[in-house]
Structure 1
């Protein structure tokens, strides 16, 4: 697992379930996936400058398990810090399940190990 540098005391002032948009996803967080369960930890986030829809319209989120998801900008998601110690129950996770999820796959020219 990668090392993510963060002020752990500051994270306690945020909710355990943090609302974010797809372009605001940050490394070291897990996302509530479309099945209501937490994803692997976000390892890298890349804004796609050469997307057919234009620059600053899509982002690819790469996870520690090697999977990748491409999201258009402004998709509402919920993030959880990977070392969150507050308990999250199934009802909270189900309520945080996103209405929209991106396209999974390996995207040409994007190496998850970079």
Structure 2
């Protein structure tokens, strides 16, 4: 099973099937927290930065009821997971007419 199939199976479908904006606003808080830490923290290399983003993104979403394991892997695998999750969130935010500025800010910090 590849990365995208794994995310579609256990994480992505939950986001796509969200039925209310109320469930998405806490996700926005998780993203805001990640952004603020990215701006303050020094990372020794890009992989450490990707690990930080992916772990915090997944852990924050798990607290909100989404299921997904903390990602491990190469720098490219981590970036693929981060990018995929952020794209799915962006799509859902647009669908529900929620500002996507925070997602764009995180993408710019990558």
The normalised TM-score by structure 2 is: 0.29
The normalised TM-score by structure 1 is: 0.28
Report which structure shows greater RCO (CA 8 Å, sep ≥6): 2
Task: Specify the structure having the higher radius of gyration (Cα).
Answer: 1
